[in-house]
Structure 1
Amino acid sequence: MWASLQFTSLFSIYLSARGKEVVCSYTEKSCYTCIWFVSVEFNNCPEDEPFPCKSTNKCISLKHVCDGNYDCPERWDEDQEVCIAYQRVPAEDMLNFVEQQARWLIPAFFKSIVKSRDDLQKIASALSTSANIDVFQSKLHLSRQSARDFESALYAVRSNDMGTLEEFGMKPESWSEVKSVFKNLIDSGLLQQ
């Protein structure tokens, strides 16, 4: 299931990185990591090599993305954030998750940073590309306490502790979805130092 979603997510990253005109509301040195909401229609790569390299017209097969070998001239196919995103729930799906769980996620962890829907996109992008909780905290300018609370929620999921998440405001009927998404974040390294 995730393979096709990752495919879409990767397209979005690479299309924006290839200089397509896209509005970016996420303030970073490199805007390309925050753009995940781009249509696939801009990609000129053939179906058997759908991954466009960042600064050239070269296209590569998805099996060559994050395989430890540099296949794109600028080494874009082995970029750390690209490889993290490749393992994670795609930002489009992460945004849907954040929106669906906003009633408890925002007050529990993100109330100081959420002012608009753009901020939900920033959260989704940061969840999809951050190497660890410290990078996540930095990308979103979260307070140390908010980052630690979110980290506690991840640890609770890792130990199958629904009660801690309910204390943060999660409804019991959300447990299976929250557990699935958080487990993906854990398994792909968000809790690593």
Structure 2
Amino acid sequence: MPTIWAYAEQLAAGDTGRWHDATRRAAILLAPTRPVLELPHRMPVHHVLVQTTALIVLGLAARRHDHVVTSAELAAWAADHAVPCVPPTSPEVTIAVRRQQSDLAALLRAAGHQVPDPGVRSLHRHSPDPVVRQWHDLADIDDETVTAYGVFPGPLLTLGIAAMADTFGPAIV
């Protein structure tokens, strides 16, 4: 089982700049509760949590000129982007998921990355940018009619944001 530090380095994919800093910051914030990442049986929740946290850390740090993102800020972002507890097929869920994707894409674009709109997962949607690769992993879906891993309705980003809310707790304002 990989440590969170090893996984953060893997996500950084050789980057030595702001993306590397974001993956390290995500590891620092998550290490107290998840020092080792369990290998997934069906759903890679811990891996998705690290990926989502790193992307949001990158976006928030860039928006605030490289300040150190706190767990309270992540809790607030996750709470503000939560999906309502209604049936997964309701319009409110679709609207909330689109907002999650739109707001994170805007943060990443402002940080200087060419983030495409979410789409259907494909080998043609590969990017040399490790940030965009993580975006594809989290925002794209396998097929319009098939849910990710057969059990989760929607993009993995939604699962990652829910896991952030569980991990960082209610926002402190």
- TM-score w.r.t. the length of structure 2 is 0.29
Greater relative contact order structure (CA < 8 Å, 6+ sep):
2
- TM-score w.r.t. the length of structure 1 is 0.27
